Amino acid sequence: MFEISTQSWQNCKSMDTSRKHPSVAILHGIIYCVGGIDNEGCDLSSMEKYDPSLNYWTKSASLHKCKGAVATTVLDGWLYAAGGSNGGSPIKSMERYDPITDEWSLVQPMKYPRSYFAMGVLNHKIYAIGGYSSLGETEQCEIFDPLANKWQDLADLNKPRMNHGVTTNSDKIFAIGGQNNCGVLDCIEKYNKGLNMWLIIKHTLNPRTGASVTLVTSQVDNDWLFIIGGIDGSHCYHSSVKTVNWKSIDYYIGSGKSMNEPRAFGGCCAL
> What does the domain layout of the chain look like in residue ranges?
18-121
- The closest alpha carbon to 83, from 112, 115, 43, 35, belongs to 115
Residue 158: pLDDT band with limits 50, 70, 90: very high
Distance CA(164)–CA(130), nearest Å, equals 8
Residue 219: pLDDT band with limits 50, 70, 90: low
φ, ψ at 142 (rounded to 5°): -145, 165
Q: What is the DSSP string of 54-80?
A: TTEEEEEPPPSS-BBS-EEEEETTEEE
> pLDDT at position 23, please?
97
> pLDDT at position 5, please?
84
Across the range 197-221, mean pLDDT stands at: 86
- The closest alpha carbon to 247, from 270, 221, 211, belongs to 221
Task: Work out the burial of residue 43: count CB atoms within 10 Å of its CB; fewer than 13 is exposed, 13-18 middle, 19 or more buried.
Answer: buried
Asked whether residue 87 carries a pLDDT value surpassing 90, the answer given is no
> pLDDT at position 221, please?
62
Asked whether residue 59 carries a pLDDT value surpassing 70, the answer given is yes
Q: What is the pTM of this model?
A: 0.95
> pLDDT at position 136, please?
95
Cβ atoms of 69 and 82 within 8 Å: the answer is no
Lowest mean pLDDT among 189-193, 198-202, 220-224: 220-224
Cβ atoms of 37 and 5 within 8 Å: the answer is no
Pairwise pLDDT comparison (101 vs 192), residue with the higher score? 101
Residue 250: pLDDT band with limits 50, 70, 90: confident
Asked whether residue 200 carries a pLDDT value surpassing 90, the answer given is yes
> pLDDT at position 252, please?
85
